[in-house]
Amino acid sequence: MTKLAINGGSPVRDVKTNPWPAWPVWDEKEEKALLEVLNSGVWSYNGPKEVEFNKLFAAFTGTSYAVSAANGTVTLQLALEALGIGFGDEVILPGLTWQATAATVVDVNAVPILVDVCADTWCIDPKEIEKAITPKTKAIIPVHLYGSFADMDAIMDIAQKHNLYVLEDCAHKHGGEWNGKKAGSIGDIGSFSFQLSKHLTAGEGGVLTTDNPDLAEKLDALRNCGRRPEGDAYADRDKGAGVYSDDGNFIQSGNYRITEFQAAILIEGLIRLPEQNRLRDENGIYINSLLHHLPGVSPMRRDKRETKEAYFNFAFRYHKDEFKGLPVEKFRKALESELGIGVDASYEPLNSCSLYVPLTKPSRYKLDEKHWEEIDPSRFKLPVCEKIYKEESVCIHHKILLGSKADMDMLGEAIRKIYDHADELL
Ligand X SMILES: Cc1ncc(COP(=O)(O)O)c(C=O)c1O
Residue of 11, 206, 284, 403 interacting with ligand X (CB under 6 A)? 206
Residue 72 is a binding residue for ligand X (CB under 6 A): yes
Decide if residue 73 touches ligand X (CB under 6 A).
yes
Which of 101, 224, 276, 277 is in the footprint of ligand X by CB under 6 A?
101
Q: Does 143 bind ligand X (CB under 6 A)?
A: yes
State yes or no: residue 346 binds ligand X (CB under 6 A). Answer: no
Q: How far is the CB of 154 from ligand X (least distance, A)?
A: 19
Nearest residue to ligand X by CB is: 72
Q: Could you please report the per-residue DSSP string of 199-226?
A: SS-SSS-EEEEES-HHHHHHHHHHTBTT
> Count residues contacting ligand X (CB under 6 A)?
14
Residue 195 CB, nearest approach to ligand X (Å): 4
Could you give the 3-state DSSP secondary structure of residue 353?
Answer: coil
CA distance 276 to 287: 16
d(CA 382, CA 253): 35
How far is Cα 78 from Cα 61, in angstroms, rounded to an integer?
A: 19
Binding to ligand X by residue 98, rule CB under 6 A? yes
Distant-in-sequence contacts of 209-212, Cβ < 8 A, 24+ apart? 209/57, 209/58, 209/61, 209/63, 209/65, 209/66, 209/184, 209/185, 210/63, 210/64, 210/65, 211/63, 211/64, 211/65, 211/185, 212/64, 212/65, 212/188
Please identify which of the residues 49, 182, 198, 399 carries the catalytic annotation.
198
Binding positions for ligand X, 350-409, rule CB under 6 A = none
Q: Is 198 a catalytic residue?
A: yes
Q: Is 97 near ligand X (CB under 6 A)?
A: yes
* Torsion, CA 212, CA 113, CA 193, CA 117, rounded to 10: -110
Q: Minimum CB separation from ligand X for residue 95, in Å?
A: 12
Q: Is 68 in the site for ligand X (CB under 6 A)?
A: no
Using rule CB under 6 A, residue 71 touches ligand X: yes
Residue 414 Cβ vs ligand X, minimum distance, rounded to whole Å: 26
Closest approach, Cβ 198 to ligand X, in A, equals: 7
Asked if residue 195 binds ligand X (CB under 6 A), the reply is yes
Q: How many residues does the chain have?
A: 426
Q: What is the DSSP code (8-state) at residue 175?
A: T
255 forms beta bridges with: 224
Q: Which of 142, 42, 37 is nearest to 97 (CA)?
A: 142
Before 24, cis peptide (omega within 30)?
yes
Window of 97-105, 149-157, 269-277, 330-338 that interacts with ligand X by CB under 6 A: 97-105
Binding site for ligand X (CB under 6 A): 71-73, 97-98, 100-101, 143, 169, 171-172, 193, 195, 206
| Catalytically annotated residues | 198
